[in-house]
Structure 1
Amino acid sequence: MNRRVFLGMCGGSSFGWAQSKEVATATPSTLVSFGSVPNVTQKYLKSVGDRLIQPGKERSSFSGTIAVGDAAGTAIQWTNEFPGKLKIDGLGKSLVFDLGKSARQSLDELDDELLEVLSADTPDAFFDQMQKGSFPRMLGANFQVEGVKGFGATVDIFQVVVPVTARKVAGTVAKHYMFDNQTGLLFRVAYQKVLSGAASKVVTEWNGYEKTDGTNWTPKQITRRQNGAKKFEVKIQTSALRATANDNLFALAK
C-alpha cells in the first residue's frame, strides 16, 4: 500500500461535505476520560497533557498576532474553555461562541473561519465529539506527508463526521484529523468547506509545540490554508491554563 498522503498540502482520502437537517445542539460534556474514548485514540489524548482529563485547567488563554493573507500581523487574544466555549478579541471586534447556547450565527467569512479554526479544528473538539457519540474512523497510520520533514512528516489519520457548529448553514462535515506519528500531537485538520459559494479544500495546520506548564503542549503557530494558499496565520506569544470560573467571560450578546 502506498502510504503517502496525496495532494501534499491536504493529505488523507477524499473529502466530503453533506448538507443535512439541523443538528440538535448538544449539551456540553464533562472532562474526557481514557475509558470514554476508543483505545486507538488514547495515545493522542495522552499526548495533549492532562488539561482535558483533570479539573483545574479547563481554560486555555492565548495572546499573539494574526496576519491575514500578506498583511502585517495585528494583536489577537482568545480563551477556550473546555468544552465548547471560545472568546476572541482581535481584528477590531470581540467574538463569543458557546456550543451549548449559541444559535446559528451569521458571520462574515473571516470571522467564521477564525471561530472554526480555534474551536472546532482542535484536539479538544476531536475528543469532545466522542463524548457526544461522534467516534472517529482510523484511516491508517504512518502516512508520509509530501514536502514535510520532522514534525508532521508521518501522520496517523482519523475521519470523523461532525455537525457544523458556528455557521448559519446547518449540516455535517467529514474532517480528517492528522496526528504526528512520533509525538501524537495534532498536525493538520483537512476538509471541504463552502466559501464564497464554492467548495474549497481547507486545512488548519498546527506547528511549533511547546509545553505551557511542563505538562501540556501548546502550538506556537496556527496556519489556515484555502486551496493551498495561506489565508491567515496566528503566532502565539503567550499561553496559560487556569480553572473555569463563573465570571461571565463567555456571556453572549443580547
Structure 2
Amino acid sequence: MVPRAVEVLQSVDVIAAEDTRHSKRLMQHFNISTPLVAYHDHTGANIIDALVEKLSNGQSIALISDAGTPLISDPGYRLVDAALSADIQVVPVPGASAAIAALSAAGLPSDRFVFEGFLNAKQQARCKQLEALKGETATLIFYEAPHRVLACLRDMSEVLGDDRQVVMARELTKTFETIKRAPVAELADWVEADHNQQKGECVLLVHGADKTDGSDSEGHRVFDILVAELPLKQAAALAAKITGVKKNQLYQYGLDQQKD
C-alpha cells in the first residue's frame, strides 16, 4: 500500500470492494472507517447505476480489488465504463500489479510483452490457445490458478516445446514469494516435486518465439483467413506472397489442419 492509496481510501465517501470481508482486514490495519459496498463480476446493473448516481451527485468512490490492480483480470471494467460514459472523471492510483512486478524480475525480454490473463480451465481449449500463441515473439504473461499451474506447465511443454524458457512468479510481495526460471519441462518437474509450489497466486511468463517462428505464425494466420474462402493450394500460394513464408510449407500446414 502506497501512502497515496491510504489517503484516498480514508478520504472518499464509499469504497467499492471485490470482497468486503476480505477488504475489512486491510481497512482495520490502516484505521480506515470508510463505508464498504460490494462490487464484483456478478454485480447487477442496479448496483452499478446506484454507484454512478452517487458519483453524479458529487460523492467520491474508490474501487479496489482483493489483490493487484482493478480491471487487470479483476472486476471493475463495467463500473469504469459506466462512469466515463456519464462524464465522471476516473483517476488511477498506481499500486501493485502482479504482471508488471513479475516481468521486472523475470529476466525475459521486456521491450514487447503480451498479457493474456487466465488461460482456459479445460485442457483442450487451453492447448488451442497456446497453439495460437506459439509463434508470438513477444514475452507472454499469464495468470494461473494454483490447482492448475502444473497442468498448464505440462501443456506448455507439449505445445511450445520442452526447452522454452518460462518463469513462474508465485505469491509476489507476500511471505512465500518465489520466482523460478527454467526450461518449461524442467520447471514442471520442479513444481510437481514440491507441492508448496502449487499454492497461492501464480504468474507464468513465457519467452517469446524465435523470429523465424513468428513469421511462420503470421503465415499460418493469413493462410487460415484465406483458406476459408479459397481452395487450399490457392490460399497457400497467396499467403506465401503476402508473408514470405514458403508456399510448400503453408500447403503442408493446410493439409495437417485438414487431418486435425
Classify the TM-score, shorter chain. under 0.3
Task: Select the structure of larger CA radius of gyration.
Answer: 2
TM-score by length of 2: 0.20
Higher helix share: 2
